[in-house]
Copies of this chain bind each other. A is one copy, B any other.
Amino acid sequence: MTASTDAIVSNGHGHSSKATATNGTSTSTDERPTALDLSHHLSLLARSRRASPLKDIIRYMAVPGIISLAGGLPPAAYFPFHSVSASAYPASTVLDPETGTPPADSVEVVIPRHKTSDTAFDIAGGLQYTGGSGLAKFAELCKDLTERMWEPVYSDWDILVNSGGTDAWTKVITMLLERGEYVITETQVYPSAQASFIPMGVTAFPIEDDGEGMRADALEAALAGWDESRGRRPRVMYLVPVGQNPLGTTMGAQRRQAIYDVCVKYDVVIIEDDPYTVLQFEPWVVGSKSHPPVPAKTNEDVAAFLDSMVKSFLTIDVQGRVIRLDTFSKTLAPGARLGWFTGSKMFIERLLRGTEVQTQMPSGISSVVIGELLNKWGLDGYLLWITNLREQYRVRRDWMLDALSASFDLVPAESTNVAGAIGLVAYPKGQAHTGPALMSFVPPTGGMFVWCRMYYRTHPQFASFAASYKPEHPEDGDATQAFEAKFWVRLVEALVLLTPGWYFTAFEGEGVSSYGQPGVGAFRLAFSFEPKDLQEEGIRRMARVMTEEWCA
């Protein structure tokens, strides 16, 4: 290899500016920069993974006329299926959110034994072993979606299909983190995400959040003031930027840029876990009444929705320090267990090595069913489906907020004197300004959840409870948590089940994590699942118990 080809090759793997990419030695017409080398972020486990020696074999299988006695595969003839098929909804379906009645029309998705065209899926492939990246055609569909929705701003990115969000998260953290390290999180974290890293000896490093999620100024301050005696400075960030679970917050474009800039400064890798990305809605306004789903019908309707979305970190990630997690769980079906990573080729290659030994490959049966549905619908059809789908969730969001508005007096936080409140403050019905501030919440513009900050400090019995409270076990938590646990039982007795906020407290080590301000707890309310009448009745029960307790 000559020095000049060396230069071209290293140009393909190192970082280059647009000027470098067009300086005449490169034949590429892609003017986007290439990713920074961030391989120093890999864990010992990830650095130790090797490609299987069997890959040499696979290369030789393509030699014309060769007879392979190398592969230990079952013959496709022994898979006992003539075909797999599905009767699916047309992509243009607009459901009635109150009844969910399936459409009368259908799209027939048939996966035959052998493929009938270059783009079609076949079960001989879908039922067989594949490499770690799964079926190539399915991966292409995912890559097309990423390119279409986000147009990543560096050139050497790639995708890798995974077996859904939990699988993806575990693969990412085992690729990046060592025992004793930290994950930068918001103050409240999805419990399953924490359950993955806590047994690995990793703890959360929570950063203050507001109505848009993590604050960039708080992040900068925390990293600038890092105390080296605590270990290596946190260098991996976990973010759910749309409809954060449980906070319900969606991070705007400016905040994203500010967070990204801090991550560049302190060399932090961002895991953008974005399952709710397409569930972005128009804001809800107090006193408004929900209107039925506005049907999207044309490519223009879809384009308008895509334009209106807050864009992925991929749209600002010039360095390849974002690993984005997408999933079909919220748009098509969780039972498919299909999602995909997007990141720099370096990270994607290491994730592929991990996949080969962690799960081998995603389900081929899931891949052909979902893949052939995407084929039948086309990419435009899928985008039409999600454009209409998010309207379904917008309506559900409205049901819950309308119900809260009907059962409580809601006042903008800035018009109250409630310390630390953001969004809307809820008072007993008819008692705005005169009654006790019961809770506050930020009306969500994405996702599935409303996060209600509960003001136990105004509850007539909280002060005496807290004064006499002594935890029996460490997991009993502080007085606020214990009070919430008692109150939660009261709600269950009134037949309404909410998720206690302390389930989501960022884990900072045994006995270390605190539940925020004394006397301020939280409940997570999901508007995604229950029908309108049950959401309304559930909120009425909640309001009745709260009014009884606070105004007794």
Residues of chain A at the chain B interface (Cβ within 8 Å)? 44-46, 48-50, 52-54, 57, 60-61, 63, 65-89, 93, 95, 100, 102, 106, 113, 123, 125-130, 163-167, 170, 191-192, 195-196, 198-201, 245, 329-330, 332-337, 356-370, 373, 385, 389, 392, 400, 448-449, 492, 495-499, 503, 524-530, 534-535, 537-539, 541
Contacts and interface: CB of A to CB of B under 8 A. Distances in A.
A525 B199 contact: no
Nearest to A64: B495
27 contacts: A45-B199, A53-B191, A54-B503, A63-B497, A69-B497, A69-B530, A72-B245, A73-B528, A74-B329, A81-B86, A82-B89, A84-B84, A123-B335, A127-B333, A128-B334, A129-B335, A163-B163, A166-B360, A195-B356, A335-B364, A335-B365, A337-B361, A337-B362, A337-B364, A337-B365, A363-B363, A363-B365
A75 B86 CA distance: 19
B77 A100 contact: yes
B167 A389 contact: no
State the main secondary structure of chain A at its contact with B.
mixed
Contact of A535 (B69, B86, B541): B69
A127 B334 contact: yes
A361 B337 CA distance: 8
Given A73-B528, A77-B95, A87-B82, A68 B359 contact: no
Contacts of A71: 526, 529
Contacts of A192: 52, 54, 356-357, 360
The residue in A69, A125, A336, A528 that gathers the most chain B C-beta atoms within 10 A of its C-beta is A69
A416 B125 CA distance: 46
The residue in A74, A75, A106, A195 that gathers the most chain B C-beta atoms within 10 A of its C-beta is A74
A110 to B, nearest CB: 10
Contact of A363 (B163, B525, B534): B163
A133 to B, nearest CB: 14
Contact of A67 (B69, B337, B369, B497): B497
Contacts of A358: 166-167, 170, 196, 358
Contact of A364 (B48, B336, B499): B336
Nearest to A362: B337
Nearest to A279: B74
Contacts of A449: 72
Contact of A69 (B78, B367, B525): B525
A511 B199 CA distance: 33
B166 A359 contact: yes
Given A50-B195, A245-B72, A358-B166, A80 B330 contact: no
Given A89-B81, A191-B52, A365 B364 contact: no
Contact of A78 (B95, B113, B166): B95
Contact of A113 (B102, B129, B165): B102
